């Protein structure tokens, strides 16, 4: 498979997981916005259930997806970076785009990890 096809597939997977993140964002932001200091055990239980559902149904699967995609693509990106020289006028667009896609996957993995940690803290505080 030519390298340009690998770049296209990686870009498509990044687009798909980003689309999944956009679909999950309303539920994630709603769970993050819940007040941790609610009165009444029933309100706290409902909030805890919403946060748990956001963690296990959305945040954790997306974090795992982004981390897996980053991990799978990392060796090739490191190989490209190691074998390349910095040249502002004569560079390989396919290889550069591939490294940029891998960096975007890392960014999304870190963002989702942060969201998951925030949601887990909120879930713990609602107990």
DSSP per-residue string spanning 42-103: HHHHHHHHHHHHHIIIIIHHHHHHHHHHHHHHHHHHHHHHHH----SSS--HHHHHHHHHHH
The pLDDT tens digits for 96-120 are 888 888 999 999 999 999 999 999 9
Please give the model's pTM, rounded to 2 decimal places: 0.84
Whole-number Å distance between alpha carbons of 64 and 17: 11
What is the predicted pLDDT for the residue at 113? Answer: 96
pLDDT beyond 60 at 89: yes
pLDDT beyond 90 at 87: no
The answer to whether the CB of 107 falls within 8 A of the CB of 35 is: no
Q: Where are the domains of the chain?
A: 3-125
The pLDDT tens digits for 19-78 are 998 999 999 999 999 887 777 888 888 999 999 999 999 999 999 999 999 999 999 899
Q: Provide Rg for the chain, Cα atoms.
A: 19
C-alpha torsion angle, residues 26, 112, 21, 19 (rounded to 10): 150
Angle between helices 60-83 and 3-33 (to 10 degrees): 140
Q: How many CB atoms lie within 10 A of CB 99?
A: 18
């Amino acid at each position: 498979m030519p390298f340009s096809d690998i770049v296209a597939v990686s870009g498509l997977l990044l687009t798909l997981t980003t689309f999944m993140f956009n679909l999950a964002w309303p539920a994630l932001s709603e769970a993050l916005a819940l007040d941790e200091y609610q009165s009444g055990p029933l309100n706290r239980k409902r909030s805890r259930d919403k946060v748990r559902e956001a963690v296990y149904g959305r945040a954790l699967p997306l974090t795992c997806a982004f981390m897996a995609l980053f991990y799978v693509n990392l060796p090739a990106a490191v190989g490209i970076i190691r074998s390349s020289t910095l040249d502002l006028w004569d560079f390989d667009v396919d290889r550069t785009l591939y490294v940029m896609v891998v960096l975007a996957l890392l960014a999304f993995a870190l963002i989702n990890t942060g969201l998951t940690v925030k949601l887990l803290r909120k879930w713990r505080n609602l107990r």
